[in-house]
Amino acid sequence: MFVIFGAAGNVGTVSAAALRRAGRNVRAVIRDEAQGELLAKIGCEIVLADLLDTATVARAIKGAHAVQLLCPVPHAHTDPARAMRRMIDASVAALRADPPPRLLALSDYGAQHPAGTGITTLFHELETQLRTVDSQLTFLRAAEHMHNWARVLPVALARGVLPSLHHPLSKRFPSVAAQDVGTLAAELLLDDRAQPVSPRIVSIESHERVSALDVARTIGELAGRAVAAREVPRGEWDAMLQGAGLGERHARLITDLYDAHNAGRIDVEADISERRFGATTLAEVLAAIVPGVAAATVR
C-alpha cells in the first residue's frame, strides 16, 4: 500500500495517479470527503486524517509499504508556524510508532538551513524530526512552485503590474511545476533499490531559471495585454501581505523567506548529487491559469 498525504493537492494528485498507473494500491489521505471524488474514480482508497491528530495519522499509515508525507503551511491559522510544528510533532509520533519501510517527505529548497529562512525553516524542522524515524528516508526538495504566481494574477491582469518580492527583477531563481514534483515523487517511491545512505536528498527544479521580468512578460503574452513587473519596496512588504489577508505572523514568515531568497540562501544545497530537472515550462503552467483569470477580469 502506498499512502499519499495531501492527495488532493497539486503534487499529491499527480503522485497518486502515477502510482495507480503503475498498478499500485494507493491510499489517498485527505482532510474532507469532498476532496476524494476524483481520487476514488481512479481506484484510490480514501481515508480522512487530521495531521494535528496522531491517532488519525496512525490509522492512515497502517500497513503502508511507502508513505509520501506533506505537512502544509496552515495559511488560515493565526500562528501558522506553531500550527505546522504541531502537525510535524503529531505526524512524526505516528511514524516513529509504526515506521513504514519507505518514507518520502516533500520539502523545500533551502531546507538545509536551520534558521533565518521564514517558512522554509519549518521544512528544516520537518526533516530534522523525520531523521528519527526508522524508515528508508527520502527528502524531495522542490524549488518555488510556478503555480504560486496564480495568487497575484488577478492584480497583474487588472492593473497591468506584477508585484514581486524577488529583488532585483532581473534576478533568476529556480522554480518548478507541481506536476513534475508529483511525478518524481512517485518515481522515487517506486524505486525499490537499496539506498546507500538515508536520508536520500533529491532536488528538483525546471531546466530553465526565470526572473520576475520573465514571469511578467509570459503573463502579458498569454493574456494579450501589457504586464510590467514591479519590485515592491522592502518597507511595503508587510502592509501588502497583510492587506492581501495574511495575518501578521504569516506575513513575517513570507518576508523572512524572501529576504533569504534575495540573499541567495533559497537554493539547491551545494553538495547534493541527486539533482533532477522538470520538463514543464513556466509558459505551460501559466497557460493553464491565465486565460481563466483574464476572462474574469473583463467581466
The answer to whether residue 155 scores a pLDDT higher than 60 is: yes
The average confidence (pLDDT) of the chain is 94
The span from the first CA to the last CA of the chain, in angstroms, equals: 47
The structure's pTM equals 0.95
176 pLDDT tier (thresholds 50, 70, 90): very high
Question: When comparing pLDDT for 76 and 176, which is higher?
Answer: 176
**Cβ within 8 Å of residue 2, ≥6 positions away:** 19, 24, 25, 26, 27, 64, 65, 66, 67, 68, 189
The answer to whether residue 89 scores a pLDDT higher than 70 is: yes
Share of the chain above pLDDT 90, in %: 87
The answer to whether residue 73 scores a pLDDT higher than 90 is: no
pLDDT (average), residues 49-76:
94
21 pLDDT tier (thresholds 50, 70, 90): very high
pLDDT at 195: 76
pLDDT (average), residues 5-12:
96
**Long-range contacts, 16-22 (Cβ 8 Å, 24+):** 16/42, 16/44, 17/42, 18/182, 18/183, 18/186, 18/187, 19/186, 19/189, 19/190, 20/44, 22/186, 22/190
286 pLDDT tier (thresholds 50, 70, 90): very high
At 236, the amino acid letter reads E
Q: Encode pLDDT of 187-219 as tens digits.
A: 999 998 877 788 999 999 999 999 999 999 999
The answer to whether residue 127 scores a pLDDT higher than 70 is: yes
**Cβ within 8 Å of residue 105, ≥6 positions away:** 69, 70, 71, 126, 127, 130, 137, 138, 139, 140
At 74, the amino acid letter reads P
pLDDT at 268: 95
At 257, the amino acid letter reads L
Left (φ > 0), alpha (ψ -120 to 50) or beta: where does 247 sit? beta
166 pLDDT tier (thresholds 50, 70, 90): very high
pLDDT at 298: 54
Taken as a whole, the chain contains a residue count of 299
At 136, the amino acid letter reads Q
* Bridge partners for 231 per DSSP: 164
Give the H/E segment covering residue 98: none
The answer to whether residue 6 scores a pLDDT higher than 70 is: yes
Locate 18 and state its grid cell.
502515477
What domains are there in the chain, each with its CATH number?
2-144+176-205+267-279 (3.40.50.720)
Cα separation, 225 vs 243, whole angstroms: 26
The answer to whether residue 91 scores a pLDDT higher than 60 is: yes
The answer to whether residue 297 scores a pLDDT higher than 70 is: no
**Cβ within 8 Å of residue 294, ≥6 positions away:** 157, 222, 223, 224, 225
The answer to whether residue 296 scores a pLDDT higher than 80 is: no
The answer to whether residue 293 scores a pLDDT higher than 90 is: no
